[in-house]
Structure 1
Amino acid sequence: MPRVTSVKLGDRPERVLLDRLERYYDAVPRHGARVEDFGPLTLFVREGQGWPFYARPARGWSGAVSVAAVDRVRARQRELGITESFEWVAETTPGLRAPVEDSGLVVHEHPLMVLDPGAPVPAADAPSGGIRVRTMGPDDPALASALAVPHLAFAEPGTDLGSAGVTELAEAVRARAGDGSVERVVTRIDAGLTSVAAAVEGSTALCAGQHQPVGSVSEIVGVGTLPTARRRGLAAAVTAALVADARSRGVETVFLSAGDDDVARLYARLGFRRVATALIAEAAA
């Protein structure tokens, strides 16, 4: 993959913004992870089940990062039986990509987009056909499907219609029953650490996503639409609901990492602007 062309950071407000995001990136996994220090790198190890965490630059680190440092973290990840992955912002830590790639990992680029403080809540068309968009309480009957649908969405990436539908979603919900995943999210909802929004038909979520507030910043994550329900504006409606909920909690800066440039254009229509490039490194498939 060709090296990313970094977003220019000539003005101080953009640098202040990226520093604010760095503080967020360092803070948010600490609610559910053990932290291991590797000098220029920090490894977050999830306590319990759930989405695996990653390694990233130590907050405030401005020196070089060696291939040996990356290899030490990768060896620890293998020892723990967790995914060998790193996440960082290209413009904030430009010297990390080369040693990560030299260690043998593959780097993927994702547009990092922000809805600035003061920007209006995105306007999105209301879904048709009896679909309702709502933020979800801990007792919502559609919560289990809202947590399962992104897994099916990300298994068939992109914006085109796919094959997984309500039958596959019901199977995914059954497969996750009893694994504690719903209970963990309920605990985070009750603690104000996570908010879930979904486009629901009957008692089934066709599209869902989350935001995770820390102070005045929140990241929108995991917005995914059931592949057979795509091209109906559901992701835009869910994103708008998440922004509205974040603002109601006092969040000023809302940001996200788009899957690719096509997805970034969809978020741009909602008022998000690209400020940098998020990089995710993982082992080759």
Structure 2
Amino acid sequence: MRGVSTLEPGERDELLERLEDYYDAVPRSGARTEDFGALTLFVREGQGWPFYARPTRGWRGEVTAAEVNRVRVRQRELGIPESFEWVAETAPALRAVVERSGLAVHAHPLMVLSPDVPTPEVPNVAGGVALRIVGPDDPVLPSALVVPHLAFADPGTGVGVAGVAELAQAVRAAAGDGSVERSAARIRAGLTSVAAAVEDGRALCAGQHQPVGKVSEIVGVGTLPAARRRGLGLAVTAALVADARSRGVETLFLSAGDDDVARIYARLGFCSVATAMIAEPAA
């Protein structure tokens, strides 16, 4: 099973329902919710990656433009990003409504690793880089949390400018903001698992998965731009797969940045099953 899923329609519908349950559950360990009828706004408690609004779980009607605009007003009041996320196949009419509100919509391949796909071997990486699951007291945790931010600020798969000096500066800038302590607490509680490719005591690439029961999503896999093209992202993803499987996860999924990134994940056995949508103000 490579690239594109061969699931029957009924199997895919069941899988997407399982993912919708997960999408509704996973933010609740770190956020409060606000009800806007057809939409639920997740508001993070404390610092960290901001959350978003999603279609309310179990809501059977369509999302209206008025509800989208009400959420956007509330997000501005709270000083958080005007961000919406959903799966195109489970809310097919939402894209047009969101675009009419003036937001830009981005589509990403939603990929799942089938339970019958063997756990992939973690690829070897050269140059003295070590792969490891990062514990709550691991000194590499601060750089493992920061490096994805540098990666996403310079998107794509090509080698970029930001290197170890920028990484060290970003770690210093984040010191004292509580992010390390919060992440360490989540690791201890089994809510988050972090994997990193480490060289000279710093994470050149890192990512996470966040299990809820037997479902987990791999998120935030990012490589320091200057360290790209070394296979680190693939290796970290494989390490996260192995860790998730060791924890009893049966349904493992992720959203790829684009089709080029999706082809990398397909090498580990992930298959595209749907389309993850993200809406935000145009740049």
Residue 116 of structure 2, aligned match among 112, 115, 118: 118
Distance 1:125 1:47 in 2: 37
Distance 2:258 2:78 in 1: 31
Residue 145 of structure 1, aligned match among 128, 143, 146: 143
Counterpart of 1:239, as a letter, is T
Q: Which structure 2 residues correspond to residues 59-208 of structure 1 after superposition, within 5 A?
A: 59-208=57-206
* CA offsets 1:79-98 (integer angstroms, 9 cap, x no match): 11111000000001111111
Tell me which residue corresponds to 2:266: 268
> Structure 1 residues 115 and 9, CA, compared in 2 at 3 Å: closer, same or farther?
closer
* CA offsets 1:198-257 (integer angstroms, 9 cap, x no match): 000121110000000000000000000011111111111100100000011100011000
Aligned 8 A contact 1:101 1:107 in 2? yes
Distance 1:162 1:230 in 2: 8
Counterpart of 1:135, as a letter, is I
Q: TM-score, normalised by structure 2?
A: 0.97
Distance 1:216 1:269 in 2: 23
Query: 1:127 is paired with a residue of what secondary structure?
Result: coil
How many residue pairs get aligned? The number is 279
* CA offsets 1:50-105 (integer angstroms, 9 cap, x no match): 11000000001221111111101111111111110000000011111111111110
Kindly report the root-mean-square deviation, in angstroms, between the aligned alpha carbons of the 2 structures: 1.2
Counterpart of 2:223, as a letter, is T
Alignment of 1:57 onto 2:55:
yes
Query: 1:56 is paired with a residue of what secondary structure?
Result: strand
* CA offsets 1:32-57 (integer angstroms, 9 cap, x no match): 10111111000000011111000000
Identity of aligned residues (%): 75
Residue 25 of structure 2, aligned match among 11, 24, 27: 27
Aligned 8 A contact 2:123 2:238 in 1? no
Q: TM-score, normalised by structure 1?
A: 0.96
> Structure 1 residues 10 and 97, CA, compared in 2 at 3 Å: closer, same or farther?
farther
Tell me which residue corresponds to 1:254: 252
| Structure 1 residue ranges without an equivalent (≥5) | 1-6
Distance 1:96 1:237 in 2: 35
Cα shift at 1:124: 3.9
Counterpart of 1:129, as a letter, is G
Counterpart of 2:242, as a letter, is A
Query: 1:93 is paired with a residue of what secondary structure?
Result: coil
Aligned 8 A contact 2:122 2:239 in 1? no
Query: 2:108 is paired with a residue of what secondary structure?
Result: strand
Distance 1:237 1:84 in 2: 33
Residue 282 of structure 1, aligned match among 260, 280, 283: 280
Query: 1:120 is paired with a residue of what secondary structure?
Result: coil
Distance 1:98 1:60 in 2: 21
| Structure 2 residue ranges without an equivalent (≥5) | none
Aligned 8 A contact 1:35 1:45 in 2? yes
